[in-house]
A and B are shown apart, each in its own frame.
Chain A
Amino acid sequence: MSTAQPLRLSQLTAAISETLNNVFGHRTFWIVADVTNHTFRPDKNYHNFDLVEKDPASNTLIAKIQAKAWGKGAVSIAEFQTLTGQRFTNNINVLVNVSVNFHPVYGLQLTINAIDSNFTLGLLEAQRLATLARLVRENPEFIRKVGDDFITRNKELALNRVIQNIAVISSKTSAGWQDFRHTLENNHFHYAFTVDDYFTVVQGENNAQQFLTRLIDVFNSAKDYDVVVIIRGGGAQTDFLIFDDYMIGKAIAKFPVPIITGIGHQKNETIADLMAHTPTKTPTKAAEFIVNHNRSFEDAINKFRQNIIIRAQQKFAADFKALGQVNNTIVNKSHNILADHKDKLYTMGTSILTKPRVIVYNKLNDIGQIRSNLNTFSSIYIRNQKSYLAHFVSMIKIASPENTLKRGFAIIKNKNKITSDPDDLAIGNEIGIILADKEITATVTSKKEYDGNDFNV
């Protein structure tokens, strides 16, 4: 039994309040705790949650207290979400600045004044690095680290020259999805695209499995996609942690179609970005990348076309020129050859015409010469012969028997035959002697050798 007059509850709560105020009133504390039972009323920008501490060994609660954030605390939480990409929600470990409040109705509560983004960033970064290290360690066949870069199978895929068939993994309600489609469909060059949407929830680490399922759906579609585009963004700059998920990073690294990310975040690249073929900053940039990629193909084609035109024209010019030169050569040279041959022929013809005349003339000359020689020499010859003849005539005349007889010589005949051999004549032979114009008959009376010189004329 109590002896004192009982207090009204409000008197007690007022006393507690005063006592707490005296001790904690204007003080603030930095504490590390986990968040749980979190609710948020966007209309009032009011967070309600519990802060808890668990025993690291047993995981049992060793401390728990209600907490709320509104006003500057809520603003700090919004900044925290933007900076870290981490939504303020259950099961996160935070460093918060709190004041201790006691409310007569709601009891003991901590009011959040500020939340330290760097603390969470540090945690997240450590977690991210651990995930990256695990990706490299456990998947050496398609992820390796070279210097600061991650080389993945997806990164090593060659982009098709033209990107036309696109699978998009995105949230249906995402402003980023609309940005992407708008940029793609209203491109300056009127490129046409076939875009298949694979809608999923792209926020909250817990939705990683759903996201993975959609990626597998793309793979199983058996469509020849040129690229897979993963986008989110546009809305609140929170909740990118899904893109730091181990399984998603692994799936992207291994995926057989080049993946372009346009995740639209401000902090460091997510693991999805690092594993993907081509990371871009925003959905709009992802679309621009695709359009530019196609544009560079068209540029290359145009350059080829220009080269073909120029080369074709050069070739034609050169060919026409070469043909013209050959033509000239043939025409000129043919004329030359003909002219040369004509000259030679003319020269030959001329000599053929004149030479015979000369020959004939010369021959005629020769013949004339011979004829005149003949004349001259024959008459000389005849004259000589005549004189020889005359000489002989006179000689013969001189030697004639008449003349010999006239000169005193006589012819002896023996038996009616003229003889000049005295041996034919024997003594007693009757001989005839012809002397001048008389024949005398005589008888040989003697014969002796004669040695007179009556004939010495």
Chain B
Amino acid sequence: METTLTYEEAYKELAAIAKEIESESVSVDVLAQKVRRASELITWCQTKLRTTEAEVNKIIAQMDKQP
């Protein structure tokens, strides 16, 4: 996955693919390609969210340690 990708970009792309698939306007020729890309993006987004959440929780915990 691209290193410069941002969550917003990834999510936008994902939503676009989802819309395409939802409206069934996607051609079967590229369906697998699209789903693979979507799967990559979802994994990437989830990882990004989890790591960010963990990081934020850590920071919050640190904040709580020093009232």
Taking Cβ atoms with an 8 Å cutoff, the residues of A that contact B are 305, 309, 312, 316, 319-320, 322-323, 326-327, 329-330, 333-334, 336-338, 340-341
Contact = CB atoms under 8 A, between A and B. Distances in A.
Given A319-B49, A337-B21, A326 B14 contact: yes
A326 B53 contact: no
A320 B63 CA distance: 24
Given A326-B42, A337-B21, A316 B53 contact: yes
Contacts of B42: 323, 326-327, 330
A334 B35 contact: yes
B24 A320 contact: no
Nearest to B26: A337
Contacts of B21: 329-330, 333-334, 337
Interface of B: 7, 11, 14-15, 17-18, 21-22, 24, 26, 28, 31, 35, 38-39, 42, 45-46, 49, 52-53, 56, 60, 63
Given A333-B24, A337-B26, A326 B18 contact: yes
Contacts of B31: 334, 337-338
22 contacts: A305-B63, A312-B60, A316-B52, A316-B53, A319-B45, A320-B49, A323-B11, A323-B42, A323-B45, A323-B49, A326-B11, A326-B14, A327-B42, A329-B22, A330-B18, A330-B21, A330-B38, A333-B24, A334-B31, A337-B26, A338-B31, A341-B28
Nearest to A335: B35
A337 B11 CA distance: 22
A269 B39 CA distance: 73
A327 to B, nearest CB: 5
Given A330-B38, A337-B31, A341-B28, A312 B56 contact: yes
Contacts of B18: 326, 329-330, 333
Contacts of A326: 11, 14-15, 18, 38, 42
